[in-house]
Structure 1
Amino acid sequence: MTEAAELPPAPEEAREVFGERFLEAVRYAELLADVGVTRGLIGPREVPRLWERHLLNCAVLSEVVPEGVTVCDVGSGAGLPGIPLALTRPDLRITLLEPLLRRTNFLQEVVELLGLDHVTVVRGRAEEVLGKLPPMHVVTARAVAPLDRLAGWGVPLLRPYGEMLLLKGDTAEEELKQARAALSKLGVVGTSVLHVGEGIVDPLSTVVRVEVGESPGGVRFAAKRAKAARKGPRRRR
Structure 2
Amino acid sequence: MSDDARAGFAAEFDVSRETLAKLDRYAELLTEWQQRMNLIGPSTLPHIWDRHFRDSAQLLAIAGTGKSWLDIGAGGGFPGLVLGILDPESDITLVESITKKCRFLDTVAHETDTAAHVTVANVRIEAMATRKFDIITARAAASLDTLFDWGLRFAGSGTRWILPKGARVQEELATAAQRFHFDHELIPSRTDSDARIVVAKGVKRR
TM-score over 0.5 for the pair: yes
Deviation of 1:120 after TM superposition, in Å, equals 0.9
CA distance in 1, matches of 2:32, 2:3: 15
1:147-176: CA deviation from partner (whole Å, max 9, x where unpaired): 111111112211222121111112212321
Query: 2:200 is matched with which residue?
Result: 210
Query: 2:75 is matched with which residue?
Result: 77
Q: RMSD over aligned Cα, in angstroms?
A: 2.1
- Say if 2:88 is the partner of 1:90: yes
CA distance in 2, matches of 1:75, 1:10: 30
- Say if 2:48 is the partner of 1:53: no
Say if 1:71 and 1:139, in contact at 8 Å, map to a contact too: yes
Residue identity in the other structure for 1:124: V
User: How many residue pairs were aligned?
Assistant: 201
Residue identity in the other structure for 2:20: F
Secondary structure of the residue aligned to 2:20 is helix
- Say if 2:15 is the partner of 1:15: no
Query: 1:229 is matched with which residue?
Result: none
CA distance in 2, matches of 1:82, 1:147: 18
Q: 1:146 to 1:19 in 2, by over 3 A?
A: same
Query: Identity across aligned pairs (percent)?
Result: 28
Residue identity in the other structure for 2:15: G
Secondary structure of the residue aligned to 1:87 is helix
CA distance in 2, matches of 1:40, 1:160: 36
CA distance in 1, matches of 2:107, 2:138: 21
1:5-42: CA deviation from partner (whole Å, max 9, x where unpaired): xx333622221226121111111112112213422222
Query: What stretches of structure 1 of length at least 5 have no aligned partner?
Result: 1-6, 223-237
The residue correspondences of 1:174-193 to structure 2 (distance < 5 A) are 174-184=171-181, 188=182, 190-193=183-186
- Say if 2:118 is the partner of 1:119: yes
Q: 1:36 to 1:18 in 2, by over 3 A?
A: farther
CA distance in 1, matches of 2:4, 2:23: 9
Deviation of 1:80 after TM superposition, in Å, equals 0.5
Query: 1:102 is matched with which residue?
Result: 100
Say if 1:61 and 1:196, in contact at 8 Å, map to a contact too: no
Normalising by structure 2, report the TM-score.
0.88
Q: 1:10 to 1:205 in 2, by over 3 A?
A: farther
Query: What stretches of structure 2 of length at least 5 have no aligned partner?
Result: none
Say if 2:164 and 2:195, in contact at 8 Å, map to a contact too: yes
CA distance in 2, matches of 1:53, 1:37: 18
Query: 1:235 is matched with which residue?
Result: none
Normalising by structure 1, report the TM-score.
0.78
Deviation of 1:102 after TM superposition, in Å, equals 0.5
Q: 1:174 to 1:127 in 2, by over 3 A?
A: same
Say if 1:58 and 1:85, in contact at 8 Å, map to a contact too: yes
CA distance in 1, matches of 2:4, 2:36: 21
Q: 1:33 to 1:211 in 2, by over 3 A?
A: same
CA distance in 2, matches of 1:32, 1:46: 11
Flag the structure with larger Rg: 1
1:117-168: CA deviation from partner (whole Å, max 9, x where unpaired): 221111112211143xx21111110001111111111122112221211111
